[in-house]
Structure 1
Amino acid sequence: MARFLLRRALQSLLTLMVASVAVFALMRLIPGDPAVILSGGDASDEGIAATRTKFGLDQPLPVQYWLWVAGIIRGDLGTSFSAQAPVSSLIEPTIPATLWLVSGGVLLAVVVALLLGAGAAVSPRRGVDAFLTGLASLLYGAPVFWLALIFILFFGVQLKWLPVGGFVNPADDPALGLSSLILPWLVLGLAMGASLSKFVRAAFLETLESDHVRLARAKGGSTLQVISKHVFRNAMVPVVTVFGVSFATLLGGAVVLEAVFTWPGLGSLMINSVNNRDYPTVQAVLLIYVGTFVMTNFLTDVSYSLIDPRIRLSGGA
């Protein structure tokens, strides 16, 4: 196990290094010169050149990349071009909003996936299966922004039950904070839960048809007992794998929702920074997203042995 964890940690570190190069290069491919934007539309060539020198944009790209990475190693994310402030000071206030959004969306997605997927698997090729599978396909096929707009129009504009945008930290005002979270949570949870439900259904069906489950049923075990004791743990192993891979989709959906719900999170900060060609801020936010995805996949691999102790990870002790 120790060798496995070490190898996966090294692989994760290598992935982050490659991702940092990709993020840095991607920003330089976006049309538009940040020096021109920062200098203003009527700036002279000399003024633009001075701005480029001020922010180090006149340095060769390998030098710019190394200075950026060296700063990250020291814990310095750089200085925002547009805000003229440390990037960390811009990111810090946005983290609570994004954490509330993503954590609630993940929990609801798991619940939705289990209800739709396991419910359909228990009654295969019947009316319940057809209904739940069709509902999952409908939710999965709908674009996240479209689903968000439908929920805003129905629950926010027509019924006026919930706020249609903005974020209030539940730690400051629990009632208003939770009401601001319900719509984004519903959209994110339903969209990702529907995507995961088909894998849950397939995993449960495969496990339900295994010999040890057939034996448990033959011994007179109820459906609930068989599922809880013999099906759930085995079926969750492939589901956890898919969840780890799908986490990037959830993060992408969270960015879209932050734009739709005017959410003051990392996604909104990144979009605004892209518009301003604020290289340091966009690079830092993207690296946080990539790091979160890499860490999620690392924890996913480790969790296999916790879900089913019989699994022996390759390279483990």
Structure 2
Amino acid sequence: MLEYLLQRAFQGVLTVFAASIIIFLVIRLVPGDPAAMYAGVDATPETVEAIREEMGLNAPLVTQYFAWIGGTLSGDFGRSYVAKVPVSGLIAARVEPTLVLLIGAVTVMTIFGFAMGAAAAISRSRAVDAALTAIASFLSGAPVFWIGLLTILLFAVYLRWLPVGGYVSLADDPVASVKTMIMPCLVLGLAMAGTQARFIRASYKEVLNADYIRLAQAKGASRMRVIRKHVTRNALVPIVTVFGVAIANLLGGAVVIETVFTWPGLGLLMINSINMNDYPTVQAILLLYVVIFVIVNFLTDLSYTLIDPRIRLTGAKT
């Protein structure tokens, strides 16, 4: 068991290291010169060159990378080219809105995803199954930004029930905070719930058609008892897999949602930083996303061993 976990942890470290190299190189392929942007349109070439030297952009790429990754390992993400403050401070100020958005979206995704998927799988009505499957397919296929804009148009513009966007902390005003959370959390959560529901339905259907389930029903066990005692547990492994991937995908969806709803989280900060060629800020946020993705995958692998001991034994042998 310990060997299995150590192996997964080592793979995670390698993934983060490889991703840091890719992030560093890809960002520098983005058109634009941070020094020229910071200097302004009227700056002389000498001024731009001096700023590039100050930013460390004239150093070889290898030197720039190791300076960045070395500082990151010590907790120093560098200074923002635009805000002229430590990047760690910028990130810390944006963590709460993003965390609130993700928690709300995960809650919505879990409730609606499991409800739609399980109901479609265990329903004896083909019409109910078809309707729930169609809804799940629509939610998983529709662009998140499009659903977000329609939601704003309906509930904020026409009905005027909710604010168009922005974020209010729970500590400042609980009522206003909940109002700002409803649309972003619902839109992001329901988009992920569609995919979740389809996989849950397929997983439940597969287990329901297994021979041992039919045997249990033939022995007189009620349908709900079979579902509660046998189906749900044996369907959990693929469900947990999709759940882990969905949580990681929420990070990407959160960037879109934060942009649509002007939600002042890490996603919006990253988009603004990309537009301003703020390398240190973009690098730090992307690397943070990778670390979160790796941690979620590690916890997903760990949950396999808790759900099914056979996976624990198999993982220990590999």
Pairwise TM-score range, normalised by the shorter structure? over 0.9
Distance 1:142 1:165 in 2: 21
RMSD: 1.4
Shift of 1:243: 2.2
CA offsets 1:27-60 (integer angstroms, 9 cap, x no match): 1000001110011111001000000000100100
Give the letter aligned to residue 288 of structure 2.
Answer: I
CA offsets 1:193-250 (integer angstroms, 9 cap, x no match): 0011111111000111112222222233333222111111111210111222333322
Give me the TM-score of the superposition, normalised by structure 2: 0.96
Equivalent pair of 1:68/1:77 in contact (CA under 8 Å): yes
Equivalent pair of 1:139/1:191 in contact (CA under 8 Å): yes
Equivalent pair of 1:4/1:313 in contact (CA under 8 Å): no
Q: 2:301 maps to which residue?
A: 301
Aligned length: 317
Identify unmatched segments of 5+ residues in structure 2.
none
Equivalent pair of 2:95/2:265 in contact (CA under 8 Å): yes
Shift of 1:310: 4.6
Give the letter aligned to residue 280 of structure 2.
Answer: P
Q: 1:235 maps to which residue?
A: 235
Distance 1:22 1:121 in 2: 42
Distance 2:288 2:18 in 1: 14
Secondary structure at the aligned position of 1:220 is classed as coil
Q: 2:80 maps to which residue?
A: 80
Shift of 1:178: 1.4
Is the aligned partner of 1:129 residue 2:126? no
Q: 1:166 maps to which residue?
A: 166
Shift of 1:125: 6.9
Secondary structure at the aligned position of 1:49 is classed as helix
Equivalent pair of 2:87/2:281 in contact (CA under 8 Å): yes
Q: 1:275 maps to which residue?
A: 275
Distance 2:202 2:289 in 1: 29
Q: 2:27 maps to which residue?
A: 27
Cα distance, 1:88–1:313 mapped onto 2, change above 3 Å:
farther
Equivalent residues in 2 for 1:1-317, closer than 5 Å: 1-123=1-123, 126-316=126-316
Give the letter aligned to residue 173 of structure 1.
Answer: D
Cα distance, 1:220–1:156 mapped onto 2, change above 3 Å:
farther
Cα distance, 1:156–1:73 mapped onto 2, change above 3 Å:
same
Distance 1:138 1:132 in 2: 10
Distance 1:247 1:124 in 2: 31
Percent identity of equivalent pairs = 55
Give the letter aligned to residue 59 of structure 2.
Answer: Q
Give the letter aligned to residue 292 of structure 2.
Answer: T
Equivalent pair of 2:248/2:296 in contact (CA under 8 Å): no
- Greater displacement, 106-115 / 44-53: 106-115
